Chains A and B, each alone.
Chain A
Amino acid sequence: MSDPNVPSETSQQPEPPAAAAAAADAAPGAGAAAVPAATEQQVGHPPTQYAEPGPAEAQYAPTQYPQAQQPQTPYPQTPYSQTPYSQTSYPQTGYAQTEYPPAPYQQPGYVSPYPKNDLAVWSLVLGLAGFVLGCLFVTGIPAVILGRNAQRAVAEGQANNPGLATTGVVLGWVSIALSVGLLVLLGLTMLFGVIALPFLVVGSSSAG
């Protein structure tokens, strides 16, 4: 957000923010050099200021930060990526209650490192719909197409769900095969109506 301390913080981004989280619990003076430097140049709060995020952080569970920050270190420009870095700015501004509402997980700017993961999920859903729900080739064909795109994305490193993609492709093909089988059966029914009559559910009760 609009934090006057941001310029100094962004220059220190190579410092792993996890160190700041650890420093918040340990003696801050022994932590990353950026952290005490930031405090001293700002308001000169005592290092124990880091205890302050404790109660506010209680709902955060600091262990969440490393996993949230890790993919964000390459994105220093997005405003939401400052939420984990706000740990170092906590002592300076009156932030925790006003600027950062206690829901840091919902960082809308979080960009997944695997942008094409959705392909495999949709492929799986469409394959399931085709196989289980009877949508057959209507969703089976898109399932195969999306599944192949998902497999290609996994090969390129843009997705990390190869199992889902393969399942979607398999289910898609099964749906297509099922629809072909049903069409063949229907064709046989129409051609050889008498022979296929006992297998019809709708209609005849006198046959067989």
Chain B
Amino acid sequence: MTPATALAPDRLTRPGAWWRAPAVTAGLAALGTAVVVWRDPHVSGSLGACPLLLLTGFVCPACGALRATDDLAHGRVAEAWSHNPLWVALVPVLLVLWARWLVRRRRGQSARPLSSRWAVVALVVLVVFGALRNLPGLAPVLGP
């Protein structure tokens, strides 16, 4: 047991502007969204094909996320929800997490690690969502 490391400093230890890492992350996300919007995933084959869907027919939890992103970028929330409801629900959560990270960096603290409890929650949600959206009854509601 090492109590000393448990009290590891919470301050930013790396030099550099506090906004750099969140800005880079936001920039990458914006760039990815721009590429998706530019290529219009509603057109079949515009961004390639999903090997998993083609080869197994299994609708993974992320299926439809690109189309949902394109719809969200254009403000069509209902259509985005019809493509991938989990992703549409996750986008505001990710934005809030990014904002909290930015605030913490502004205060000079490093990002607080995501608790492992959320990892279990994430796994359960992913498994349940992935299973449910492949059921014939729920496929129209939860499917891509």
Question: A: which residues have CB within 8 A of B?
Answer: 71, 74-75, 111-119, 121-122, 124-125, 128-129, 132-136, 138, 156-158, 179, 182-183, 185-186, 189, 199-202
Contact = CB atoms under 8 A, between A and B. Distances in A.
A121 B119 contact: yes
Given A113-B1, A125-B123, 18 more contacts: A71-B3, A113-B2, A114-B6, A118-B114, A118-B116, A122-B114, A122-B119, A129-B122, A133-B127, A133-B130, A135-B61, A157-B2, A158-B8, A179-B51, A182-B51, A182-B55, A185-B51, A189-B55
A134 B2 contact: no
A75 B6 CA distance: 10
Interface residues of B, number: 30
Contact of A186 (B5, B54, B115): B54
Q: Which 8 A-B pairs have the closest CB atoms?
A: A121-B116, A134-B60, A182-B51, A74-B3, A125-B119, A118-B116, A186-B51, A201-B57
| Among B54, B58, B60, B61, residue most surrounded by chain A Cβ atoms (within 10 Å) | B54
B120 to A, nearest CB: 7
B49 interface: yes
A202 B57 contact: yes
A10 to B, nearest CB: 17
Contact of A118 (B52, B119, B127): B119
25 contacts: A71-B3, A74-B3, A74-B7, A111-B6, A115-B5, A118-B113, A118-B116, A121-B116, A122-B114, A122-B116, A125-B120, A125-B123, A129-B126, A134-B60, A138-B62, A157-B2, A157-B5, A158-B2, A158-B5, A182-B51, A182-B52, A183-B51, A185-B51, A185-B55, A201-B57
